[in-house]
């Protein structure tokens, strides 16, 4: 653009050039500078190699199995904004009361909200773990379900979600406040992950039917019955697809 001689290139710009944080015209100026200053060009090339080496050396950490105690910190934490939410609900109680009368829809209880929160965290923690999402491989699914049933004190079953293109690939035990929870993992043909959370501590006398809970990924649908709370979560499926999955699971478990 500017016909005048470009400003000389400083040390900071060499780094910004390496890190792709330069404007287009300064990029050109740096490239011209490097062509005329071989010592700087050698240095820049070495700095680029450092970045490649360091990224490659630490990349594997991203797919390491998540230590259980790290996930547990988030899973066990009591809901942070509960006091504020309670205050707000009290303040607009009358409005909500009127709204509830007009709505045949289910209003999520505090317990349901807490379960949805945990199901979303568990999904975020474990579904992203491409190589070690489950504790037991598909060969040992029967033993896994028997083991989870024992730990949860109820029969844990993996519903057949083949109609939605999903296969059961395994599961794991999760910490809970009052009782252990379980997470079953399903996978679609293109690697889409769906998790199915079982939380016995969220059981409720009256069965709720399938409810929508979270629009932002991970999306969540859930229901509660007199034995357990259940939640399906996925970041890969649309809300509509996930709803179908939730209905499939619900109809098999609540027959």
- Per-residue binding letters, 71-90, with another protein (x by CB under 8 A): x-xx--x--xx--x------
Task: List Cβ neighbours of 218 (8 Å cut-off, separation of 6 or more).
Answer: 120, 123, 124, 127, 195, 233, 234, 235
Look at the chain and count its residues.
255
Number of residues that bind another protein (CB under 8 A): 41
Tokens of 130: 């491409």
Task: List Cβ neighbours of 92 (8 Å cut-off, separation of 6 or more).
Answer: none
Position 170 contacts another protein (CB under 8 A): no
Interface of this chain with another protein, residues 206 to 235, rule: CB under 8 A: 218
Q: What DSSP line would sit under 6-67, residue for residue?
A: PPPPPHHHHHHHHTT-S-HHHHHHHHHHHHH-HHHHHHHHHHHHHHHHHHHHHGGGGGSPPP
Task: Give min distance, CB of 58 to another protein, in A.
Answer: 5
Tokens 């975020």 correspond to what residue? Answer: 124
Interface of this chain with another protein, residues 1 to 60, rule: CB under 8 A: 11-12, 15-16, 19, 21, 43, 46-47, 50-51, 53-55, 57-59
Nearer to another protein, 44 or 158 (CB): 44
* Interface residue list for another protein (CB under 8 A): 11-12, 15-16, 19, 21, 43, 46-47, 50-51, 53-55, 57-59, 61-64, 66-67, 69-71, 73-74, 77, 80-81, 84, 117, 120-121, 123-125, 128-129, 218
């Amino acid at each position: 653009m500017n016909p005048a001689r470009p400003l000389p290139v400083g040390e900071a710009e060499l780094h910004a050039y390496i890190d792709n944080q330069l404007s287009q015209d300064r990029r050109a100026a740096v490239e011209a500078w490097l062509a005329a200053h071989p010592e700087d060009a050698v240095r820049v090339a070495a700095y680029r190699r450092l970045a490649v080496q360091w990224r490659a050396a630490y990349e594997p950490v991203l797919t390491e199995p998540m230590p259980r105690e790290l996930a547990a910190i988030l899973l066990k934490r009591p809901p942070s904004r509960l006091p504020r939410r309670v205050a707000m609900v009290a303040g607009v109680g009358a409005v909500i009361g009127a709204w509830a009368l007009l709505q045949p829809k289910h209003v999520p209880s505090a317990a349901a909200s807490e379960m949805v929160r945990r199901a979303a965290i568990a999904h975020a923690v474990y579904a992203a773990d491409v190589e070690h999402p489950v504790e037991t491989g598909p060969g040992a699914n029967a033993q896994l379900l028997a083991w989870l049933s024992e730990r949860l004190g109820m029969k844990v079953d993996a519903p057949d979600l083949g109609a939605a293109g999903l296969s059961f690939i395994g599961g794991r035990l999760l910490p809970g406040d009052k009782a252990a929870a379980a997470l079953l993992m399903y996978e679609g043909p293109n690697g889409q992950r769906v998790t199915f959370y079982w939380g016995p501590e969220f059981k409720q006398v009256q069965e709720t039917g399938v409810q929508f809970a979270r629009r932002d990924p991970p999306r969540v649908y859930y229901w509660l019955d007199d034995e357990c709370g259940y939640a399906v979560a996925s970041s890969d499926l649309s809300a509509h697809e996930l709803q179908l999955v939730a209905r499939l699971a619900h109809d098999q478990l609540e027959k």
